[in-house]
Amino acid sequence: GENVEQHPSTLSVQEGDSAVIKCTYSDSASNYFPWYKQELGKGPQLIIDIRSNVGEKKDQRIAVTLNKTAKHFSLHITETQPEDSAVYFCAAGMDSSYKLIFGSGTRLLVRP
């Protein structure tokens, strides 16, 4: 079955710097890759997703890139702000199923 690995497990950046979180997946049939942000005491919230028919997607300060050949995808956050501090999860799935396999999470701390 699918396996998703996520790195780093923790990331500390200065406010205004960029943050990059990387994930790899094992099942070449996966074609949907969402990113979720989980703030303390809350459930995960979808912040951006990408499907395998595109290589990059951007939404304001957040971007996601996908390399299907290498089976890895990354989340890029530019101009980080303290409110970006949270745990971020990547996931992989298929259009034919709602089942998502999640990575282990990255705790991002943005220092003011």
Q: How far is the CB of 37 from other proteins (least distance, A)?
A: 11
Q: Which of residues 30-59 bind other proteins (CB under 8 A)?
A: 32, 34, 36, 41-46, 48-49, 51
Answer yes or no whether residue 62 interacts with other proteins by CB under 8 A. no
Can residue 110 be called a binding residue for other proteins (CB under 8 A)? Answer: no
Identify whether the C-beta of residue 25 lies closer than 8 Å to the C-beta of residue 7: no
Cα 40 from Cα 72, distance rounded (Å): 27
Rounded Cα–Cα distance for residues 41 and 83 (Å): 15
Phi, psi of 11 (to 5 degrees): -145, 125
* Residues within the interface to other proteins (CB under 8 A): 32, 34, 36, 41-46, 48-49, 51, 89, 93-95, 97-100, 102-105
